[in-house]
Structures are given as C-alpha cells and as structure tokens.
Amino acid sequence: MIKIPIKVLLVDDEKDFVEMLSLRLKGAGQKVTLAYNGKECLEILAQKDMDVVILDIKTADMDGIEVLREIKRKFPLVEVIMLTGHETTESALEGMKLGAFDYLLKPADFDVLIRKLEAARKRKEEHEERIRKAEAKFLLRKSGGIF
C-alpha cells in the first residue's frame, strides 16, 4: 500500500525543538513545513495546502489560542493539534472546544504524535469527502436530477 505523506505545518518558537521534530517527522515519511510564530503560520496556510497544523500554545508573537481561532476562521478544514506544557493544559482544552482536533503534552511521545496526525488527517479526508458528496447532490438537483 502506498503511504501518502501527511502535509504537516509545525508551529513553535523553540527553534531547536521544531527542527528536531521536523527531522523525525520527515524521517517517518511526512511532508513538513516550519513556522516560528503565529503570523508565519497564517501566511503559510494562505499559500500552501496543509492537512494538519501542530501548534504550540506558546508562540513568540501571538497567543496560540488566537492563532487557532484565526486558523479555524480562515481555513476551517485544516485540523489542528495543540502542543502544550503542564502549565497551559487548560488552554489546550479551550482550544479543543474552539475546534482543535486534539492536544499533546510536551514532551510528546513520537508514536502518539504520529497516531494523532494520522487520525487528524483521516477526519479531514472524511470531512472533504462529505462536502464533495453534498456538492454532487446539489449539482444533480440543480440540473433536474431526482435528488
């Protein structure tokens, strides 16, 4: 079976951390783009098609929750996994209520991260498939088909 890479946008202001995680994700066959702050994250999403954003709650320029709100407002189909430390777990929960797919406590276990990424991508694909079906039905109805 051919494995299609997950298009991951990794957002964190801790440069060493993102670069190391990026190498591991690439090693695991995923397609990774890096952003070091919220502004960069939103700029990249406006230009590139992404499946999942791994978003640190603490980024240099914006509160992670604000970045999440902007992602969900402008790119609602992109799934978001929040990265959090113990001191920001409540923010991660708030993030999930605002539409984040899940959260991970730092330091995140790599296998757990991969599983969550795969689950997030699957949800995005299923969502997109339902939209395609709804569009097809709509077109059929418009063209005078039955339903």
Binding site for Mg ion (CB under 5 A): 12-14, 56, 58
CB of 58 to Mg ion, least distance (A): 4
Determine how many CB atoms are found less than 10 A away from the CB of residue 114.
16
Closest CA to 95 of 110, 85, 114, 82: 82
Nearer to Mg ion, 24 or 133 (CB): 24
DSSP tag of 72: H
CB of 119 to Mg ion, least distance (A): 23
CB of 100 to Mg ion, least distance (A): 16
Nearer to Mg ion, 113 or 124 (CB): 113
3-state SS assignment for residue 54: strand
Closest CA to 85 of 67, 121, 59: 59
Nearer to Mg ion, 14 or 94 (CB): 14
Nearer to Mg ion, 6 or 10 (CB): 10
Pairing of strands 52-56, 79-84: parallel
Cα–Cα distance, 10 to 81 (Å, whole number): 10
CB of 61 to Mg ion, least distance (A): 11
